[in-house]
Amino acid sequence: MSWSTLETRPTLGPREHFELPDSYIYSFGLLLTAALVAGQAALWLRLPRVTAYLLVGLLLGPHVFAAIPKEHLERFHPLLDMAMALVLFNMGCHFSLGYFRKIFRGALRLSAGELAVTMLLVTLGMLLVGQSWQVAVLFGVLALATAPATTVLVLKENESEGPITEYSMALVALNNLAAIVAFEAVLVGIFFLNNTAGASAHEHLIWLGLHLTASLVLGIAGGLLISYACGLLSPNRWLVLLVAVATGVLGLCEVLAVPYLLAFLAMGATVANASDRTNDVRQELERITGLLCVVFFVTHGAELDIGALWAAGIVGVVYIVTRSGGKYLGIYLAAGKQGNRDVRRWLGVALLSQAGAALALKEIAVERMPELGKALEPIILGTVVFFEFVGPLLIRRAVLSAGEMPLDKAIHHQATTPWMELRNMCNRLLLAMGFDPWHLRSPDDLTVSDIMRKNYVTIQAAATFDELVSVLEHSHDNIFPVINGDGELLGVIRYRELRNAVFDPKLGRLVRAVDLAQPAINVLHPDGPLRAAWELVRNSPDDLIPVGSQGRLVGMVARRDLYRFFLKRSE
């Protein structure tokens, strides 16, 4: 850049010094920084990170504090499309033929019941509030769609496993496919019944068939290409391959105006059945999908207009109530009395999120039938705000209540604090500059009793699992001694051994701490030399070692306290 170019740039006026920079790169960085903070806050508050991303995006967006201009958000849309496409690709990778055969009958029955009841209730509800039959039926079709990105990301974030998780993944795909097909069929029916020429209806049916076929062909071709190329390329080139194929397929879908949702589901399902490296491909996808999904949700949140929720009025309230009731009641009835109780109660709740597909179909309605589309637009825009914020909370609630979430995701347990990390960083900086922040004594002069902690967390043998969880949430330790009423050490509970165990709320009062305790193999004596404690800690994965005398627990030695005495010497 020449100096003359710099000199010709306009200078900032007095007021402009206080305005936010007009740079979409700055806006991008601001969104990511805010998302990082919001995601950490979500962990502390035990909320889905998706909800935190949406909320912080809403606050920064043009409809609240306007820290991010609307024109900057439009620049991120290609990234949003790529994020959605990769999420769908990842979802499709679960649908191997073996997996599909296992859940097909159940998923198809549940999906059919849910779709039928939802469309019926929403259509009737819209008719009761004075909407025309055309608009009412279109609302019923739009209510079928479930947000794939939101649902999949919340399930993945919570690492849930079980019937609710499996059926949610399958029904998200079936629901959105049904919504696309039903929407096009309803538009054809409206054209035909309004006497807009029989040829028009015939052409639309042909158009629908061609576009769905083209979408499937693109997806299958992309999946075959990935499956074949992954066997030829080294794994460190897979990410480039996946991005190249995904962007190519996404671009072709845009050029041909075909639904990319179906294309990427088909691409993932093809890889799941044509490749023996599906799990490795999914892991490679995670390297980029995580970042893109953060961008997707904060940007999507910034584009939400909270005012549209109020503008939806009574029609919006009826849509929310009937759609929610249809999802729940449809699953409840379809599951039957002999079905899984948790599926009957919680699966419908996990399918309430709505965004991408419904908004895309609404745009098609506005383009093809402006009069009907304008009747749909304010209601869909308003109710999407509700479903996008409430949906993730209910998904988490569903898998938690059904006992499909591991303990590590069900509670917030952190082995350190911001203050501890700040102190450790400062101590290391002082050591690097040659200062001794601890005024160390010689380790040869110390015994275990000199550094053991006398204030420590213990768990009574009769404590319930609920009481144990409460202790885990409020402690930064990773090992907890279990004692009886006389202070006798019965064993220890290690958080690392519990973190991946399924958290089932129904067992909260049935399981006792003594049932989960493991023998305390490594126990120090208070009069033992400090060097022995150091050697024991170095060879143990535990951060705390019990100190016992005559079978009774008298203290705990922490790894970080030993580092205080040995770090400088080891360096």
Domains defined along the chain, listed by start: 49-406 (1.20.1530.20), 418-570 (3.10.580.10)
Range with lowest mean pLDDT among 62-71, 75-84, 440-449: 440-449
How far apart CA 142 and CA 30 sit, in angstroms, is: 33
- How big is the CA angle at 298 (ends 61 and 503), to the nearest 5 degrees? 140
pLDDT above 70: residue 209: yes
Q: How far apart are CA 54 and CA 387, in angstroms?
A: 12
Report the distance separating Cα 402 and Cα 503, nearest Å.
9
116 versus 430: which is more confidently predicted?
116
* Predicted pLDDT of residue 17: 41
Measure the CA–CA gap between 87 and 69, rounded to whole angstroms.
Answer: 27
Check residue 365 and give its pLDDT: 80
pLDDT for 565 equals 64
What average pLDDT score do residues 216-241 get? 94
* pLDDT score, position 1: 37
Q: List, for residues 156-196, the tens digit of each pLDDT value.
A: 988 898 999 999 999 998 898 888 888 878 887 887 777 65
**How large is the average pLDDT for residues 191-216?**
72
Flag the least confident range among 36-50, 379-393, 501-515, 534-548: 501-515
Structure tokens at 190: 């409206």
What secondary structure letter does DSSP report for 275?
-
Give the orientation angle of helix 163-193 with respect to helix 148-157, to 10 degrees. 180
Does the structure show a pLDDT above 80 at 152? Answer: yes
pLDDT interval class at 7 (50, 70, 90):
very low
pLDDT for 12 equals 42
Residue 146 has pLDDT above 70, yes or no: yes
Two tokens, residue 13: 């006026």
Quick one: pLDDT at residue 176? 86
Structural contact between residues 482 and 514, judged by C-beta atoms closer than 8 angstroms: yes
CA distance 410 to 501: 10
Beta strands, E only, 428-494: 459-460, 479-483, 489-494
- What mean pLDDT do residues 287-296 have? 89
pLDDT (0 to 100) of residue 43: 83
Confidence of residue 439 (pLDDT cuts 50, 70, 90): low
Report which of residues 188 and 34 the model is more confident about: 34
Residue 19 has pLDDT above 70, yes or no: no
Q: 201-204, long-range: CB within 8 Å, 24+ apart, which pairs?
A: none
User: Does the pLDDT of residue 374 top 90, yes or no?
Assistant: no
pLDDT exceeds 90 at position 408: no
- Residue 197: predicted pLDDT: 47
**pLDDT confidence bin for 414, thresholds 50/70/90:** confident
Segment 216-236 mean pLDDT: 94
Percent of the chain with pLDDT over 90: 31
The 3-state DSSP class for residue 281 equals: helix
Residue 472, pLDDT score: 81
Q: How much is the pLDDT for 558? A: 83
- Of the chain, the percentage scoring pLDDT greater than 70 comes to 89
Spatial CB neighbours of 150, under 8 Å, sequence gap ≥ 6: 50, 297, 353, 355, 388, 391, 392, 395
User: Are 492 and 518 spatial neighbours (Cβ–Cβ below 8 Å)?
Assistant: yes
More confident residue, 363 or 235: 235
For the residues 259-281, what does the mean pLDDT come to?
A: 91
Confidence at residue 442, expressed as pLDDT on a 0 to 100 scale? 61
pLDDT digits (tens, 9 = 90+) for 459-479: 988 888 888 888 887 787 888
Residue 333 is predicted with a pLDDT of: 94
Two tokens, residue 548: 């016992």
Averaged pLDDT, 281-288: 89
Please determine, for residue 419, whether its predicted confidence score (pLDDT) is greater than 60. yes
When pLDDT is cut at 50, 70 and 90, the band that residue 566 belongs to is low
pLDDT in tens, 311-361: 888 999 999 999 999 999 999 999 987 678 899 999 999 999 987 677 778
The per-residue pLDDT for 535 is 81
6 pLDDT above the threshold of 60: no
Q: How confident is the model at residue 15 (pLDDT cuts 50, 70, 90)?
A: very low
Please give the DSSP secondary-structure letter assigned to residue 510: T
Alpha carbons 504 and 134: distance in angstroms, whole number: 46
Query: Which pLDDT score is estimated for 229?
Result: 95
167, two tokens: 């059926």
Question: The pTM is what?
Answer: 0.80
Q: What's residue 415's pLDDT? A: 65
Q: What is the pLDDT of residues 473-523, one digit of tens each?
A: 778 788 889 998 888 888 888 888 887 777 777 766 678 888 888 888 888
